[in-house]
Chains A and B, each alone.
Chain A
Amino acid sequence: MIAKSMKIKHFSLILFVLIAGIFTACDKIEPPYTTQNGGGGGEPEELVQKVLLEDYTGHKCVNCPAAAKLAGDLKEVYGNQLIIMAVHAGFFARPEGPPFDLDLRTAIGDQWDAYYNVIGNPQGLVNRKIYNGAALVPPAGWGEKVQDIITNSTPQASISLETTFNTDNRKLDVAVNSKFLRDFSEQYYLQLVLVEDSIRGAQSNNNSSVGDTPIIEDYYHRHVLRQDINGLNGEAVNGGEGIVANQVYTHTYSLTLNAAYKAQHCAVIAFLYRIADNEILQVEEKHIVE
């Protein structure tokens, strides 16, 4: 019996040491809980890798206001290196009776939503890059994916955007100059879309730290995708041919701005994507009224 008792003590001690070991491997975080590197960005003079964060959202999605705030917080960190586009599509974006009668869906947004099989909202695409076999990234993963691309990618293309907006007839002319820093045998496409910021409407919400629950009546939908400018798939950069380094590819487009859009809130987003896997090589944004 003494031997038995000793054995128990022996194993109890080992167990205590092991459990204590687990708890020394704990990271109790003390305030401040957030990093202090805000206010990044400004317009860098040298060529940098920019990132397009697509926020798939809907006005009936209760978790989407928190995701939109997160996107805004990331914008505070990365400034103009991060471009946000909110794609209202799918079940939660369907218009209903007041106050959810706003329809922010678009043909191009619906197409992307179906292509990426976005079942629930919020979901995101970060430069449409595929991580571990999946392109969709939940909001909690946006930050590290954006950081990964900005930190670890070397820019391989530049986009120069020029917009001219005639306030009288609301005609918008867009000129895009794309330049690649090396040859590419793969096909690249140029996609242009129009986004409108701060559209007022109702939004479902379940997070009291973000706004009223269950509905934020005066919600400002940010960076809303409004329409495509050059078709649902964009246009081949070099007519379907390979890309030649340092050659400037120029594309121009015109459209009449929808009367319902507030010009001072509108911007054009242009991005170059590889047709094989849709990954975005470079992206640029320019407001149509400076």
Chain B
Amino acid sequence: MRKLWIVLFLLAFTSLEAQDFLDKAQINGSFQVDGQFYQPDDALGITDSLIGGRKLGLNGFGNITYTLGKFSAGMRYEAFLTPLAGFDPLQEGNGFPYLWASYQTDFVGVTVGNFYEQFGNGLILRSYEEWTLGYDNSLNGMRVILRPSAGITIKGVYGTQRYFWQQYENGNRGIVRGLDAEVDLNQTIKGWESAAVRVFVGASGVSKYQKDNDPLYNLPENVGAWAGRVNLSAGKFNFATEYAYKINDPSALNNFIYHEGQAVLSSLSYSQPGLGVVLQLKRVDNFSYKSDRRVNGNAVDINFIPPINRTHSYSLAARYPYATQPNGEMGLQFQLNYKIPKGTALGGKYGTGIAVNFSQVNDIVRNPINDTTAVNTSGTLGYTSDFFKVSDSVFFRDFNIEIEKKINSKWKAVIQYMNLHYDIATIEGHAGEPAVKAHIGVLDLTHKFSSRKSLRMELQGLFTEQDEGDWAAAVLEYAIAPRWFFNVADQYNYGHPEADKKNHYYTVSMGYLKESTRVALTYGRQSEGVVCVGGVCRQVPASSGLTITVSTNF
């Protein structure tokens, strides 16, 4: 593939003068290094032997894109030497995992090498990269995009997915092939150009191929999935829905059952100045789709199941994030954003923002296939499931309300309350542990001393009788815009059921920003937890020491 990339690169420039490479080209890049110095910390149970001689973890990348007219090419270098605590040990290594070249016109776009792509909502295909999770399932192959007429886009992709540093060879994982078409009906049907209702329709199909070498099961070597989607918008209303189906796909994640897969995601929204309402529904049944059926961790996912839960930013509110359950879940989310107008009794001089959010995710109902076979038995159909039945088992429930109020030209406040139900046994695999039922409160006050200087204070409380009990947190952050910030924070697990684990997790940090370069230093403790992005999560072990982040782009 590297040879092909070089040949294409050279061919693209055969007609150009050498000077054009520099004069007419545009080069963009971004770099980041995250480093952690680890130290033993008896109170957290971090000993020399647990660190295992590893004093320093370093994750870094450099991304460069070269553009010249319709041609562009790029690469990303990565080095995980050694990976930060909590990242998969398979990350360890360095090299260029992402190399690509692309040619784009109004009619056609061709990419060779590595690329990211998404069909619709991603239910049957989405490749993406998320640095904070150490996740990258980029495709390495070819992509062709055709735009035969205004409003019509057809995409075709094939390739293999990235699996850490392991090269694809001898069928050591599957091959992905996919097609997608999207049509803007208002642009393609006569008389619809100025219709009040805007309609997009799309369809896609994906197939993966992986050889069957298993001595126990008759495994499908070609596993196909398809999806159809519609998006309607009329004035202030928008409705979008997508349904996806997958044939039998026994894998490590579904315990090698032969049940078909289905997923549906729908969203209805209303939006006008000062008011936004969104209702989302989702049903997922056996819809993990990986290009290597043997992998059950966060890797080589062909598809992506979007979460329909609020992503919280305050530390205690984000302590129990929901991780999508691809084996089965049914969920809904309701979100209301309303701004009480200025000049009213509640709105005051600046108006008051209110956000109300509710989401709940339950399990699906699984019925045994017969009287003698337990649900989910390997090498069987697994179960049957009624599409519309919801299990009593609640994986996650989050009701939260947030009020944002600018009090005067100096003071601004955010108040948040959250009521949480978190099935820690299912989401984090803590078998037998009761669901966490918590009340969480946040007060965020910002005082502006001048146009450049401000002080922000956070006070948070998490109250629960389960898991590690009650927490309190406080943050003080002083910012001198646009260059400096200084932050002191502490999370105190004062309600831990074991007296010797009532720990403080304090941090002192500072950051400096100049032009597009940011340097941040943090010293202190990090509590054990879970980091999730888009419903994909990784465990973060407790750590203690110094963290440094340097990032820049041009």
| A interface, CB within 8 angstroms of B | 1, 4-5, 7-8, 11, 15, 18-19, 22-23, 25-29, 31-35, 37, 60, 62-63, 66, 69-70, 73-74, 77-78, 114, 117, 119-120, 131-134, 138-141, 143-144, 146-148, 204-209, 213-215
Report whether B220 and A28 are in contact in the complex, using a CB–CB cutoff of 8 Å.
yes
Q: Say whether chain B's binding surface is mostly helix, strand, loop, or mixed.
A: loop
Instruction: Among A23, A27, A60, A77, point to the contact of B220 (Cβ < 8 A).
Output: A27
Report whether A26 and B294 are in contact in the complex, using a CB–CB cutoff of 8 Å.
no
Q: Mark B266-297, 1 if CB is under 8 A from A, else 0.
A: 00000000000000000000000000011111
Q: Which of B172, B207, B216, B219 has the most CB of A within 10 A?
A: B216
User: Measured between alpha carbons, how far is A206 from B296 in the docked complex, in Å?
Assistant: 15
Chain A residue nearest to B150 in the complex (CB): A4
User: Measured between alpha carbons, how far is A28 from B294 in the docked complex, in Å?
Assistant: 19
The stretch of B353-361, B377-385, B529-537 that contacts the partner chain: B377-385
26 A-B pairs within 8 Å (CB atoms) are namely A5-B190, A8-B188, A11-B149, A11-B181, A15-B179, A18-B156, A22-B206, A23-B207, A25-B222, A26-B207, A26-B220, A28-B220, A28-B248, A33-B379, A34-B216, A60-B431, A62-B429, A77-B216, A131-B172, A132-B172, A138-B252, A140-B295, A144-B213, A206-B431, A208-B374, A209-B255
Report whether B376 and A209 are in contact in the complex, using a CB–CB cutoff of 8 Å.
yes
Instruction: Among B203, B223, B429, B431, point to the contact of A19 (Cβ < 8 A).
Output: B203
Report whether A132 and B220 are in contact in the complex, using a CB–CB cutoff of 8 Å.
no
B169 in contact (CB, < 8 A)? yes
- Number of B positions contacting A (CB below 8 A): 67
Instruction: Among A25, A28, A117, A140, point to the contact of B296 (Cβ < 8 A).
Output: A140
User: Measured between alpha carbons, how far is A176 from B250 in the docked complex, in Å?
Assistant: 43
- Residues of chain A with a CB closer than 8 A to B373's CB: 209
Report whether B432 and A15 are in contact in the complex, using a CB–CB cutoff of 8 Å.
no
User: Measured between alpha carbons, how far is A69 from B256 in the docked complex, in Å?
Assistant: 13
B197 in contact (CB, < 8 A)? no
Report whether B431 and A62 are in contact in the complex, using a CB–CB cutoff of 8 Å.
yes
Report whether A74 and B374 are in contact in the complex, using a CB–CB cutoff of 8 Å.
no
- Residues of chain A with a CB closer than 8 A to B252's CB: 138-140
Report whether B181 and A15 are in contact in the complex, using a CB–CB cutoff of 8 Å.
yes
B425 in contact (CB, < 8 A)? yes
> With A1-B190, A134-B166 given, is the CB distance from A8 to B149 under 8 Å?
yes
Report whether B217 and A34 are in contact in the complex, using a CB–CB cutoff of 8 Å.
yes
Report whether B431 and A213 are in contact in the complex, using a CB–CB cutoff of 8 Å.
yes
> Lowest 10 CB-CB distances: which A-B pairs, in order?
A140-B252, A214-B431, A214-B432, A140-B294, A27-B220, A26-B224, A144-B213, A209-B377, A209-B374, A22-B205
Report whether A148 and B213 are in contact in the complex, using a CB–CB cutoff of 8 Å.
yes
- Residues of chain B with a CB closer than 8 A to A4's CB: 149, 188
B110 in contact (CB, < 8 A)? no
- Residues of chain A with a CB closer than 8 A to B482's CB: none
> With A32-B218, A33-B379, A214-B431 given, is the CB distance from A119 to B258 under 8 Å?
no
Report whether B214 and A15 are in contact in the complex, using a CB–CB cutoff of 8 Å.
no
Instruction: Among B89, B154, B219, B377, point to the contact of A29 (Cβ < 8 A).
Output: B219
- Residues of chain A with a CB closer than 8 A to B294's CB: 138, 140-141
B232 in contact (CB, < 8 A)? no
Q: Mark B216-258, 1 if CB is under 8 A from A, else 0.
A: 1111111110100000000000000000000110111001101
Report whether B217 and A35 are in contact in the complex, using a CB–CB cutoff of 8 Å.
yes
A5, chain B: closest CB distance, angstroms: 8
Report whether B89 and A214 are in contact in the complex, using a CB–CB cutoff of 8 Å.
no
User: Measured between alpha carbons, how far is A120 from B190 in the docked complex, in Å?
Assistant: 59
- Residues of chain B with a CB closer than 8 A to A11's CB: 146, 148-149, 152, 154, 181
Instruction: Among A31, A60, A133, A141, point to the contact of B166 (Cβ < 8 A).
Output: A133
- Residues of chain B with a CB closer than 8 A to A148's CB: 213
> With A18-B156, A19-B203 given, is the CB distance from A35 to B169 under 8 Å?
no
A-contacting residues, B529-548, CB 8 Å: none
Report whether A18 and B179 are in contact in the complex, using a CB–CB cutoff of 8 Å.
yes
Report whether B216 and A73 are in contact in the complex, using a CB–CB cutoff of 8 Å.
yes
- Residues of chain A with a CB closer than 8 A to B156's CB: 18
Instruction: Among B88, B167, B177, B376, point to the contact of A132 (Cβ < 8 A).
Output: B167
> With A119-B89, A147-B215 given, is the CB distance from A138 to B295 under 8 Å?
yes
B90 in contact (CB, < 8 A)? yes
- Residues of chain B with a CB closer than 8 A to A209's CB: 255, 373-378
Report whether A214 and B425 are in contact in the complex, using a CB–CB cutoff of 8 Å.
yes
> With A11-B149, A114-B52 given, is the CB distance from A144 to B177 under 8 Å?
no
Excluding A29-B219, A206-B431, 19 further A-B contacts by CB distance (< 8 Å) are A4-B188, A8-B188, A18-B179, A22-B177, A22-B178, A23-B224, A25-B207, A32-B218, A33-B380, A62-B429, A73-B216, A114-B52, A133-B165, A140-B251, A204-B432, A206-B429, A209-B373, A209-B376, A215-B432
- Residues of chain A with a CB closer than 8 A to B295's CB: 138, 140
> With A8-B149, A205-B431, A207-B376 given, is the CB distance from A29 to B248 under 8 Å?
yes
> With A18-B156, A207-B376 given, is the CB distance from A74 to B247 under 8 Å?
no
Chain A residue nearest to B378 in the complex (CB): A209
- Residues of chain A with a CB closer than 8 A to B247's CB: 26-28
Report whether A35 and B216 are in contact in the complex, using a CB–CB cutoff of 8 Å.
yes
B299, chain A: closest CB distance, angstroms: 11
User: Measured between alpha carbons, how far is A117 from B89 in the docked complex, in Å?
Assistant: 8
Instruction: Among A23, A37, A73, A204, point to the contact of B226 (Cβ < 8 A).
Output: A23
A14, chain B: closest CB distance, angstroms: 8
A62, chain B: closest CB distance, angstroms: 4
Instruction: Among B214, B248, B255, point to the contact of A207 (Cβ < 8 A).
Output: B255
User: Measured between alpha carbons, how far is A119 from B179 in the docked complex, in Å?
Assistant: 38
Report whether A22 and B224 are in contact in the complex, using a CB–CB cutoff of 8 Å.
yes
B478, chain A: closest CB distance, angstroms: 39
Report whether A144 and B207 are in contact in the complex, using a CB–CB cutoff of 8 Å.
no
User: Measured between alpha carbons, how far is A74 from B377 in the docked complex, in Å?
Assistant: 16
- Residues of chain A with a CB closer than 8 A to B188's CB: 4, 8
Report whether A132 and B169 are in contact in the complex, using a CB–CB cutoff of 8 Å.
yes
- Residues of chain B with a CB closer than 8 A to A138's CB: 252, 294-296
- Residues of chain B with a CB closer than 8 A to A34's CB: 216-218, 379
Report whether B431 and A25 are in contact in the complex, using a CB–CB cutoff of 8 Å.
no
- Residues of chain B with a CB closer than 8 A to A214's CB: 425, 431-432
User: Measured between alpha carbons, how far is A4 from B188 in the docked complex, in Å?
Assistant: 8
Report whether B216 and A15 are in contact in the complex, using a CB–CB cutoff of 8 Å.
no
- Residues of chain B with a CB closer than 8 A to A140's CB: 251-252, 256, 293-296
Chain A residue nearest to B250 in the complex (CB): A33
- Residues of chain A with a CB closer than 8 A to B223's CB: 26-27
